[in-house]
Amino acid sequence: MLPSATRRGFLRTAAIGGGMWGLGDLSFLTRIGHVSAAEAKLDPAVVRLDSQIEPLVLLLEETPRERLLEEVAARICRGLSYRDVLAALLLAGVRNVQPRPNVGFKFHAVLVVNSAHLASISGPDEDRWLPIFWALDHFKSSQAADVREGNWTMGPVDESAVPAPRAAREAFVSAMDNWDEAAADVSVAGLSRVAGSDELFELFCRYGARDFRDIGHKAIFVANSWRTLQCIGWQHAEPVLRSLAYALVHYNGDNPAKSDQPADRPWRENQSLAQSIRADWQTGKEDDAARSEMLVALRQSSPEDNCKLAVELLNRGNSPQVIWDALFAGAAELLMRSPGIVALHAVTSTNALRYAYAHSGNDETRRLLLLQNAAFVPLFREELLRRNRNGIADGAIDQLASLPLESSGPAAVEEVFADVSSDRARAAAKALSYLQSGAPAADLIQAARRLVFLKGNDAHDYKYSSAVLEDYDHISPAWRDRCLAASMFQLCGARDKDNSLVARTRAAFGA
């Protein structure tokens, strides 16, 4: 909740978006009739889930899209917990949606679960279910896309090939290092039964960061699946980790273990480069000149040179926060220069890698994650240039100029997001003015989040907003306002059309 009644009132009653700020009252749920569904017999060719969650997962799988939200709502009224809905949503996705031909597209039904969860727990209490209902509806869309593409379903593990407990870790590492899909599947099943969550996370966050295929989605899947499992419980880990391993060994062309492909070079080079970082590298000064030096390099240098500069700056006695600030700013700047799907993932993959870095307990892994991100941001820049033959727009985040607001207080937030719908550069300049005035960043963040609830139509609306709004607190004060202001180039605007879920929720109200 926001810290004052005045701000709560604005977020509930402002006229932005046709008066829909106050949609949060979900009292309609109590008026939905009870719905019963018999547990269906499970196909023996389909992976079995925890017996307590299987009936709910089947409900999500088998209920038609046009009835699913009402079916789930009825069960919530009868006591179904938030955690169980979240668990079923993740498990239905990993069982029914293939993370191929790459870790994206229809697979966003899985990738967006944690983002919806973060939006839910960070938003106002009265809006708690809106992101989850949106994700439920999105799952049905992705499930239908998967059916059209061949109707892939995760099958049961080949138990005869599962390694013995004492050999599971070695077998998993060997399978992943050799990009062996079949061996990875059985070994991760075995490892998930004997290893703790921290051990599993340490392994997966390295493999999620080792290559640049799928524009950062591998690292995003690692972070998001681990975070969701932390909420729903590790009794659900095995099918999730099988899906994750299957995604991480995806490649096209020659086996990366036996070939030299550009997507794999930073990892190979950074394994040796990481060893040259000073022993006490996680302490140091926070020099603004060093941040600027790194940011300039991100605009023009090669991935290899960026990684070498990151090491040089650390060895000069700078804190790793200096590097992270530059990476956040560099990713945000790409979005300013070329809003859209590629630059967006520069931001969300930086969020994922920074999360893995913060939660890893292994010094070498932390070094590698930082260096991989230092390679990934210029790789995103190169990908943008490859896709845009005429180049991308000029712009520097440290040169973003503020623009005075005509309003103050809550009305200033309304003014910013009204401009997002018509002139994103103007909105960014006004957002910077708002933040530099000392006005509460929390109000701007909460308004951005609610607008995603009401206007978001794509999984990236949730993925991006959850990442960029979370990262505000991970950036140094001197730089965080510019990064948040730059997010106006991608966030939803107040005058955007309400999404279909809003209309459906209004209908459920009887309005």
Sign of torsion over alpha carbons 370, 375, 378, 492: negative
* Calpha distance 304→164 (Å, rounded): 40
Question: What does the pLDDT average to over 23-34?
Answer: 39
Does residue 302 share a domain with residue 226?
no
pLDDT score, position 232: 95
- The residue out of 328, 361, 387 marking a domain boundary is 387
Q: Mean pLDDT score of the chain, rounded to an integer?
A: 90
Q: What is the pLDDT of residues 267-289, one digit of tens each?
A: 999 999 999 999 999 999 999 99
* Calpha distance 433→416 (Å, rounded): 10
Question: What does the pLDDT average to over 41-63?
Answer: 84
Q: What is the pLDDT of residues 145-191, one digit of tens each?
A: 999 999 999 999 999 999 999 999 999 999 999 999 999 999 999 99
pLDDT at 508 over 90: no
Sign of torsion over alpha carbons 105, 106, 108, 110: negative
Question: What does the pLDDT average to over 372-387?
Answer: 97
Q: Which two tokens stand for residue 420?
A: 């997002």
Within a domain: 184: yes
Please report, as a single letter, which amino acid is at residue 115: S
Please report which confidence band the pLDDT of residue 26 belongs to, taking 50, 70 and 90 as the band edges.
very low
Does residue 314 share a domain with residue 243?
no
Domain extent at residue 354: 287-387
Within a domain: 109: no
Does residue 165 share a domain with residue 247?
yes
The total of other beta-carbon atoms located within 10 Å of residue 387's CB is 12
Q: Which two tokens stand for residue 365?
A: 């892994």
Q: What total of structural domains would you count in the chain? A: 2
Does residue 238 share a domain with residue 321?
no
Within a domain: 419: no
Please report which confidence band the pLDDT of residue 313 belongs to, taking 50, 70 and 90 as the band edges.
very high
Q: What is the pLDDT of residues 326-372, one digit of tens each?
A: 999 999 999 999 999 999 999 999 999 999 999 999 999 999 999 99
Q: What is the pLDDT of residues 461-491, one digit of tens each?
A: 999 999 999 999 999 999 999 999 999 999 9
* Calpha distance 454→404 (Å, rounded): 27
Within a domain: 292: yes
Q: Which two tokens stand for residue 164?
A: 């013995």
Within a domain: 164: yes
pLDDT at 28 over 50: no
Does residue 301 share a domain with residue 243?
no
Q: Burial letters for 158-183: b for 16+ Cβ neighbours within 10 Å, e otherwise? A: eeeebbeeeebbebbbebbeebbeeb
Q: How buried is residue 34: exposed, middle or buried, by Cβ count under 10 Å (0-12/13-18/19+)?
A: exposed
- The residue out of 252, 268, 302 marking a domain boundary is 252
Within a domain: 342: yes
Within a domain: 266: no
Within a domain: 464: no
pLDDT score, position 6: 36
Does residue 309 share a domain with residue 237?
no
Phi, psi of 493 (to 5 degrees): -105, 160
- The residue out of 355, 387, 419 marking a domain boundary is 387
